[in-house]
Amino acid sequence: MHLLHVVGARPNFVKVAPVYRALADHGVRQTLVHTGQHYDANMSGVFFGQLGIPDPDENLAVGSGSHAQQTAAIMTAFEAVVLRYKPDAVVVYGDVNSTVAAALVCAKLSIPVAHVEAGLRSFDRTMPEEVNRLLTDQLADLLFTPSDDANLNLLREGIAPEKIDLVGNVMIDTLVRLLPEAEKSVPQDLPRPYGLLTLHRPSNVDDQDVLKPILTTLLDLALAPHILFPVHPRTKHRLREFGFHWGNGDRLRVLDPQPYLEFLGLQRRAAFIVTDSGGIQEEATFLGVPCLTLRENTERPVTITRGTNILIGRDMVRLGAEIEKILGGQAKSGTTPPLWDGKTGERIADSLIKRYH
C-alpha cells in the first residue's frame, strides 16, 4: 500500500505528523508532498524538525497569490506529481487551498481521497475555508471527523454514512506528545499574568477601523495584563501601513512568529488567549485556557458547547468585559470533547489500512 499526504500550511504539519508516524509504525509506504502554499524557509524547517516529520519528498513551491491563482497553480503542479507516484490513496488535511486543489485533481484521476478533519462548518460561505471544506468533503471517499457535530453536518449534506469515520481531533495528538517539552521552552522571565494575542484573518487585520480597536481595547484594560503578540507577517505589514505604534510602555510585547513548541508553551501558561484562529480554539479547549475568538462564527462549535471558547465578534466592550471576568477569577470552564485523547492518528492509520491495503 502506498499513501500520499498533501500539506500546504503550518496547521497541516501539526495534523499530518501523528498520522504519518502511526502509518510508519505499520510499515506503510508514504510520500509527503508540501505544496508550499505557506512557506517560510526558516519556520517551515523548524516546524518539520520539532514535529518529527521527514523532509517532504516533493515541494511544489507554489507561493502566494489570489485564491484562484494559488489553487490553480497547486492543481497543475500536483497533477504531475500524483501521476508519477500513482498512490493507492491521497490523504488531505484541514481546509486550506492545497486541500481542495489536491482533492479536485484526484477526483478527475479517480484516485481515492481521505479527508482528515472533515465535516467542520461555519455556515459562512464568505470564508474561503468554508468553500474548501464543502467541496473537499463532497469529493472525498473517506471522511475523518473530529466531533459529533461534524458527522451531523456531513449526513445533512447527503454524505453516505459508510464514508464517515469519527476519529477525534488529530491536532491534539501532537499537543499531547509535545506538551512536556513545550512547557520547558517557555522563557522564565515572562510577565505574569499575560494574555496571548494572535490575528491573521483579513477581516480583522486589513481594515484599520477593525484592527486598531482590538489593540487599544487590550491596552486599555483596567487590570493591565501584559499582552504577548506573535505577529503574523500579514498583520505586521498592515500595522506598519496603518502607522500603529506600540504604546503603554512594555505591556504589549511584539514577538516574531513562534515555532510550534514555543507557541504551545506560551498557550499553556497564558491567563487567556485572544485569537481569530481555528486551531487555537481547539488547543485552548484542551489546555483549559480561556479563549476569546474575534469572529462572528466558528466551524468548531464544540469548543463553545464543551470547551473554554467564547465568540466575541467585533464587540470590543464585551472583549474587555470578558477579560476582566477572567482576571477576576470568573473564567468560563470547559471539558475535553470525546476522542480528543492523543490517539486519533492511530485510529486514522487503522482505518486507512483497512480501507486501502
Does the annotation count 200 as an active-site position? Answer: yes
Q: Let me know if 57 is exposed, middle or buried by CB neighbors in 10 A (0-12, 13-18, 19+).
A: middle
For the record, the C-alpha cell of 169 comes out as 481531533
Catalytic choice (5, 200, 226, 232):
200
**Among 19, 13, 200, 7, CA closest to 98:** 7
Q: Please enumerate in sequence order all residues whose Cβ is within 8 A of that of 202, keeping only pairs 6 or more positions apart, or say none.
A: 234
DSSP 169-209: -HHHHHHHHHHHHHHHTS-TT--SSEEEEE---HHHHS-HH
DSSP 341: S
Amino acid present at 123: F
Q: Where are the alpha helices (DSSP H) in the chain?
A: 10-25, 41-51, 67-85, 97-109, 128-139, 148-156, 170-184, 202-205, 208-219, 233-242, 260-269, 278-287, 302-305, 316-327, 344-356
Starting at the edge strand found earlier in the chain, the sheet holding 58-59 runs 58-59, 29-34, 2-7, 89-93, 113-116, 142-145, 164-166
For the record, the C-alpha cell of 190 comes out as 515572562
**Among 42, 28, 24, 26, CA closest to 10:** 42
C-alpha span between 193 and 289 (Å, rounded): 13
Count CB-CB contacts under 10 A for residue 101: 30
Report the residue count for the chain.
357
* Active site members: 200
